[in-house]
Structure 1
Amino acid sequence: MWCIGTITGEYLANLEDVLDVYSAPAAAGVVRLCFDERPCQLLDHVLTPLPPKPNATQKEHQEYVRKGVCNVLLAYNIDTGQRHLQVTTTKNKGDYARFMDWLVQTHYPEAAKIQLVQDNYSTHTYGAFYEHLPLETARYLRHTLEFHYTPKHGSWLNMAEIEFAALSRQCLDQRIATQQRLEQEALAWQAKRNAAATKVNWSFTTEKARDKLKNRYAELTKITDEIKLSEH
């Protein structure tokens, strides 16, 4: 399910930019990644769950204890079906910058260019690199990473959202009390999904967007024409 909200020229420009990244053929030396990050609530049991009976699910007491929040950062390679994640205590520019440095240096050190689809959250900027990494590292990342922002209220365009949905269903649908255990569970999920090279089957294209949103395109064109007329 997706929501487009208010259509503006910037919205359409970002929408088409992201869709064009997805639909382009894979190119030598170019890596295409989708990135997102999400806070995860840590929860513990008030009472120890009863051991499950055969062929039955474990029963949990409805009450729980909040144990804080941690943050999951995830990048998904649309060409190889590999995902790379880390779990951090906080969600800030430093965490973002260090994750990107680790991502590039560990997994894609030979990439000539990395096209990175992400939302326009305030920490997702080149400036974060210069504020939290050595100057030469920041400069290298700025030249290697090519940012492609999803539109405001257009997070449904980010394939990393689909990966987070799978992570929530397949791994985080349980009470996890510590960041260490959440990281263990998330990395085990990642390993299993990577071994299968599970890919997102994305079929929405710029052409389909123009057809489905043709009335919105027309409205925007009409507004633009009216502005031009008022200027004469």
Structure 2
Amino acid sequence: MWCVPKIDEPFVERMKDVLELYARPHDPSEPVVAFDERPVVLHDNARPDRPMRRGKPRRIDYEYVRRGTANIFCIVEPKTGRHLTHATEDRTRPSFALAAERIARAYPQAHRIHLVLDNLNTHTPASLIKAFGTERGRALASRFAFHHTPKHASWLNAAEIEASLVSASCPGSASVATASQPSPSYAAASGSGMQPRTGLVARSTGSSPSATPSGFSDPTGSTESCQSTSSCERPESKRDHAKTQKRKKGR
């Protein structure tokens, strides 16, 4: 379902601002970074998997245990392909402020960081001040120029576009039980060696349901997964397994 925006003067002004920003030549002193959130549902195995054996693929039981939810901050510099994507427990003002500080630390030589965001109420300099206090918050906010997409047009955000493409390109069939475990699909699906972004195909072997950003902070993380949508070799999916069992019962 499409939400058709009202094409008024503020919409056009914001649209032009974002598009002109993307059209600029790459300038290390003023990098353009796109920022977006992506919710993740955390699932764990109800029963142990059956490992792959000679002539038989790995088998995953269709039953799962829900482990709550987490948030993925999708952070990408479109001109260079650099990613600072990581997981958090939520997308509150303190979490946004910490993500902004992470971005600022990643560009120590930048005079101004242009940050493209949607219109979520936490995406403001006030969030930084509230989280870190007046002095530190204002100092951090001064590193950024905030560029908000038009209302009902967050598809102009490069981070949102890419998150949607990756989610659709190689989603796999399994789940992630904790936000600290990276999904191996993202780096391979993107073809750029970047760290995982969303819990799409990995299964956790641990039992802790806690959500921490540690597993998503290393840009040299695992890239083990399928190389393209057409060549993915995945374990038997929950849906396929259920269909197989139904066919066996009908015989």
Structure 2 residues not aligned, in runs of 5+: 196-218, 221-251
Q: How many Å separate the matches in 1 of 2:194 and 2:164?
A: 13
Structural mapping, 1:1-232, within 5 Å = 4-27=4-27, 29-52=29-52, 58-105=58-105, 107-168=106-167, 169-170=169-170, 174-182=174-182, 185=184, 192-193=193-194
Work out whether residues 166 and 186 of structure 2, in 8 Å CA contact, stay in contact via their aligned partners in 1.
no
Identity of aligned residues (%): 30
Q: How many Å separate the matches in 1 of 2:55 and 2:149?
A: 44
Higher helix share: 1
Q: How many Å separate the matches in 1 of 2:171 and 2:134?
A: 38
Cα deviation, residue 86, structure 1 = 2.0
1:148 aligns to what SS in structure 2? strand
* Change over 3 Å in CA distance of 1:119–1:48 after alignment to 2: same
* Residue deviations 1:150-207 (CA, integer Å, cap 9, x gap): 112212111101332355345775311112214x7589769823789xxxxxxxxxxx
1:82 alignment partner AA: R
Q: How many Å separate the matches in 2 of 1:30 and 1:17?
A: 15
1:179 aligns to what SS in structure 2? coil
Q: How many Å separate the matches in 1 of 2:94 and 2:15?
A: 28
TM-score by length of 1: 0.72
* Change over 3 Å in CA distance of 1:113–1:70 after alignment to 2: same
* Change over 3 Å in CA distance of 1:53–1:108 after alignment to 2: same
2:37 alignment partner AA: E
* Change over 3 Å in CA distance of 1:96–1:74 after alignment to 2: same
Q: How many Å separate the matches in 1 of 2:172 and 2:72?
A: 11
1:71 aligns to what SS in structure 2? strand
Work out whether residues 36 and 160 of structure 2, in 8 Å CA contact, stay in contact via their aligned partners in 1.
yes
Supply the RMSD in Å over aligned alpha carbons.
3.0
TM-score by length of 2: 0.67
Flag the structure with more relative contact order, 1 or 2, with Cα contacts below 8 A and sequence separation at least 6.
1
* Change over 3 Å in CA distance of 1:172–1:152 after alignment to 2: farther
Moved more, 169-178 or 9-18: 169-178
Q: How many Å separate the matches in 1 of 2:134 and 2:54?
A: 58
Structure 1 residues not aligned, in runs of 5+: 197-232
Cα deviation, residue 146, structure 1 = 0.4
